[in-house]
A and B are shown apart, each in its own frame.
Chain A
Amino acid sequence: MNDVEILEALKKGDEAVLQKLYKQNYRMMVKLITKNNGTEEEAKDIYQEALIVIWQKARDPNFVLTSKISTYLYSVCLNLWRKELERKKRHSHEEKDGEVQPVIDRQEKVQIVHKCLEQLGDTCRTILMYYYFDKMSMVEIAENMGFANSDTAKTKKYKCKKELDHLVKTQYSESDFLD
């Protein structure tokens, strides 16, 4: 599979190709981080983040790949690792100054949504993830989910979102969820 084919597959949301790409470049990317003071776990984490970046980029109609995918991944890994090192440095200062509360609040909210998504069931969860994260159109969601047409996808998405809002609002008080 060449780079063009890989990118096309990623655009279509082919997770198997994402996994293949992950395996293909794993050793090189992990070595890049471990050579630069990262642990194996940090390296894996950064590399996985880089792949998710390319996964989302591939969905962007304005994205043009001007180099090999491996080269692109390499530079994304480097940038992410540089940011992570800066974050670590900043974090150590924040801990000293006691400024980590907003991050915890954000994580709690994410956990709340996560729990409510679980309650929604697989179909609704997948539709909402495709729509908000993968930025799939209703046509693509219909194709991926096996719906009759995009109108069905649109209706289902609307209902799922309403249900999610309702679950969060009824199960958590405003003070839990809103600032």
Chain B
Amino acid sequence: MNTYFEQIEDYLRKDLTDAEMQSFESALSQDPLLQQELRFQQSIINGVRAARHSELKALLQQTPISAPPLWQNIYVRLGASAMAVAAGIGALTFVLPESSTAPNTASPSTNLVATQATPKNQSTLTPITTSKTTTPKAVASNNQKTKAVTNKSVKSTASPTSFDPNDLDAVSDIEMMEKENTPLSSGTTTSRTSTKQPVSVKTIEDKTLGYRYFNNELYLHGNFSKDKYKLIHAASQNEMYLYFDNQYYLLKPGTTKITSLSAITNLKQIQRLDILRQE
């Protein structure tokens, strides 16, 4: 039985050579005791594997899943926002002559960036740029990628293309704008056409998730203090998607009235957006 034992184990682990396998199977077909021992060993090994499988599952089951790090992010983002405001104002003060118009955070013509740490009904607004003339270095150097995204966004919105939002296979050049620390649009572009673009975002605390474009700005309605959100821009198709609370929503350009959002349910599309979001 010892020889059988060794052979059975190797057979079950597929460690036998072709010749050994043939020989073993030949013996197996003629020996009821060997067949019984094989079934026994198979059951034992299956049981050991099942036990380890259960052990690993228990390990994962006990792994604590932290809630979205909301409080942490709020402080981090508040800090980042404050620094961005200070840097922006500082840079503008330094660069602009005294006679120039100083940036006005309350001005609707100013490109603004909403942060995640948005107090109720009021965005924390960071001045990015005031005109086509000057780009504050501190902001410009902060994120070149964002600048590129803005430029693409400007171009594509000017000539809207037809795009089936349920078919993301066509997406070849997609860029993601993450709202954690990266502004949707830094406004650092000097393009004059940027004024025709919804280049900044404001969040408005609301029970219902919705959006609208107004005065070249994107207004997002929802409970954003609960969870962070991200905007994903499909540059090739010039489509904007909102990612919030693990759901994706299509933001149709030109929507001027507050419109509630319906989550995208197309699996293929979700899969692609998931991939893009993580890139």
Contacts and interface: CB of A to CB of B under 8 A. Distances in A.
Interface in A1-26: 15, 18-19, 22-23, 26
Contact of B60 (A31, A32, A51, A164): A51
Interface string A32-62: 1001100000001000110110010000000
B51 A125 contact: yes
Interface in B24-83: 36, 39-41, 43-57, 59-61, 63-66
A141 interface: no
Interface residues of A, number: 43
Interface of B: 36, 39-41, 43-57, 59-61, 63-66, 246-247, 265, 267, 270-271, 274-275, 278
Contact of A165 (B44, B57, B60): B44
Contacts of A18: 56, 59-60
Nearest to A112: B47
B51 A129 contact: yes
12 contacts: A19-B60, A23-B65, A27-B246, A35-B270, A36-B267, A110-B46, A113-B48, A117-B47, A129-B51, A132-B45, A133-B48, A165-B40
B36 A178 contact: yes
B267 to A, nearest CB: 7
A26 to B, nearest CB: 5
Contact of B56 (A52, A114, A164): A52
A177 interface: yes
A169 B49 CA distance: 19
Contacts of B40: 165, 168-169, 177-178
A153 interface: no
Most A CB atoms within 10 A — which of B47, B52, B64, B270?
A: B47
Given A22-B63, A28-B274, A35-B270, A109 B246 contact: no
Given A23-B63, A28-B246, A113 B270 contact: no
Contacts of B63: 19, 22-23
